[in-house]
Structure 1
Amino acid sequence: MVRRVNGILDQWRQRRALQRWQSALHHAETLDLASLRAVRSSARQMRQTLDRVLHVADGRLTLPLIGSDAIQKPLHSDWAYRPELWRGPLSPPGKSAVESKTTFGSEVTVFHDCRVSELTVRQIRNTRESDLAPFGLRMDVFGFDGSFLSLVIELPQSAVDGLKRNHLVRLTALVEMEKPLEVFARLNIQHGPNTEQIVRTLPTSEAETFVEFDLAYTNLNEKRVDRMWVDLVLENPEMSQVILRDVNFSRRPRAEV
């Protein structure tokens, strides 16, 4: 009986909230500016919460039904991660004439040095049986008068917790290209005032590819590791389309020699 009453109360509250915002929409054209600013502020706060709810719900309910831990990772991996862009829907899902330093979600940023941007970036839905990631990223490049185009992926704090020089960090990607392009992956690890960088060429002869970064060849100060991020750099991307169906990361201790 209590559950039924609570259910009825919840439905009543939802109807009241919906009626309130419908009323706000109806009067938005005639409200004085001070009242309109207050309504806008409340609407933005609610939209942020609703966007997060939809992000989590769509990520769980849409196919493929996976979370960030559904990653094919090497044996003995002690950490794995799929960035949010490939896990759940972003709002807005795409942008055109993308300017440098444009962010997509909280972890991915596009950088370039074009004077006139003819770059379109859009999150797409993966639906194939072979797909593990629910979403992918499509980049369409038309004219390109710059010297570089890169996608910077910020990794979470869990990526550097317990990070040692005996770790191998793996980047795995599922890439589709309209024409052959060179793609470079640069791992950046900030430790104190210094930053270690390792650059690898991402093989693109096969759709599913990976590179590994061996931290044994760095001067990493294990006690001062603060942050880790990866740059994906596309060479000469003019008049091309690149789809990243999946990007994920893992790490494991290297075998002792």
Structure 2
Amino acid sequence: MARGSWMQGAFDRAVLRRWTAAVRAAPQAELSVLRRDLARAEALRLRLGELMAIAGDRLAQPRIGSQAFPRPPGTDWAWRPRLWRGPLARKGEAGVLNRTPIGEEATVFHDCPLGEITLRQIRNSRTDDLAPFGLRIDVFRFDGSYFALAIDLPPSACEGLKRRHLVRLDIRLEMERPIEIFARLNIRHGPNAEQLVRELPLHQLPPQGGEVWVEFDLAYTKLNEKRLEKMWLDLIFEGPRMNQITLRDITFARYPRAEL
């Protein structure tokens, strides 16, 4: 044990013994001694309360950088984008323009000339949150024809990718009012690109929000497994005006389809 650690431990034990003795002596102590001890105890209680509140809050939150989330059996690749696992240098953006990047992996695309859109990374702290961070999207007036969030998957997503694979997308989200959201998986292979589109089953969500998932079956593509270059996901929001959408978590998993 380091000398500093030993000395700190000895000091802490001495402080504990001192307060234990004060408690035992309190019933017979002189009033002047009680007043002195009470003032010191009140100051100590204030600081201890602050420490317990901060420590309890931090320890209750998901750990920054966490990649912990459930994976289907047979998963050979899984990933949570950085936006949901680590703090961004720039937490928010107001008047979001077309092609606005959010960190290094996500980009917002839209054709609304008003720009009444704000984005903000938030810290998740609820008991059922697994991702350390979330993304809150506020859309006010919106006169455009499309609004999408594109997420670039890392190169490892294409390594070993086969047509026998299923790619699963899990999303935990909340909305002020119901809208339709579509997930489009894009895979570039040589000069060609495959696209698979799924509508998120948001009708299954309770009013307070929750988790939904979809699967993309690569057997329905003409994927050239030898020329894989890039994979990305588009989340397409239909009619997002006057809404607040909070994406608490987004995760991906890849696993082989069961043999028939």
TM-score of the two chains, using structure 1 as the length reference: 0.75
Alignment of 1:215 with 2:218, yes or no, is: yes
Q: Distance in 1 between matches of 2:215 and 2:66?
A: 20
Instruction: Note if 1:232 corresponds to 2:235.
Output: yes
Task: State the match for 2:246 in structure 1.
Answer: 243
Match of 2:142 in 1: 144
Determine whether 1:92 maps to 2:90. Answer: yes
Q: 1:65 is matched with which residue?
A: 63
In the alignment, residue 123 of structure 2 is paired with which amino acid? R
Distance 2:201 2:100 in 1: 27
Query: CA separation of 1:67/1:76 partners in 2, compared to 1, >3 Å: closer, same or farther?
Result: farther
1:203 deviates by 1.2
Using the TM superposition, give the Cα deviation of residue 61 of structure 1 relative to its aligned residue in structure 2, in angstroms: 8.4
2:116 to 102, 118, 121: 118
Percent identity, please: 60
Equivalent in the alignment of 1:177: 175
Gaps of 5+ in 1: 5-59
Instruction: Count the aligned residue pairs.
Output: 200
5 Å-filtered alignment, 1:15-30, equals none
Distance 2:258 2:107 in 1: 34
8 Å contact 1:108–1:152 — kept in the other structure?
Answer: yes
Normalising to structure 2: TM-score of the pair?
A: 0.74
- Helix, strand or coil: the match of 1:158? helix
**Aligned equivalents of 2:64 and 2:258: distance in 1?**
30
Task: Give unmatched runs, 5+ long, in structure 2.
Answer: 5-57
- Partners of 1:141 and 1:238 within 8 A in 2: yes
Structure 1 residue ranges, 4+ long, deviating more than 4 angstroms after superposition: none
Instruction: Output the CA distance in 2 between the equivalents of 1:217 and 1:191.
Output: 15
What SS does the aligned partner of 1:223 have? coil
Q: CA RMSD in A?
A: 1.7
Shift of 1:91: 1.5
Q: Deviations over 1:24-73 (max 9, x none)?
A: xxxxxxxxxxxxxxxxxxxxxxxxxxxxxxxxxxxx98931264430211
- In 2: Cα distance, 1:114 partner to 1:174 partner: 26
- Report what 2:17 is aligned to: none
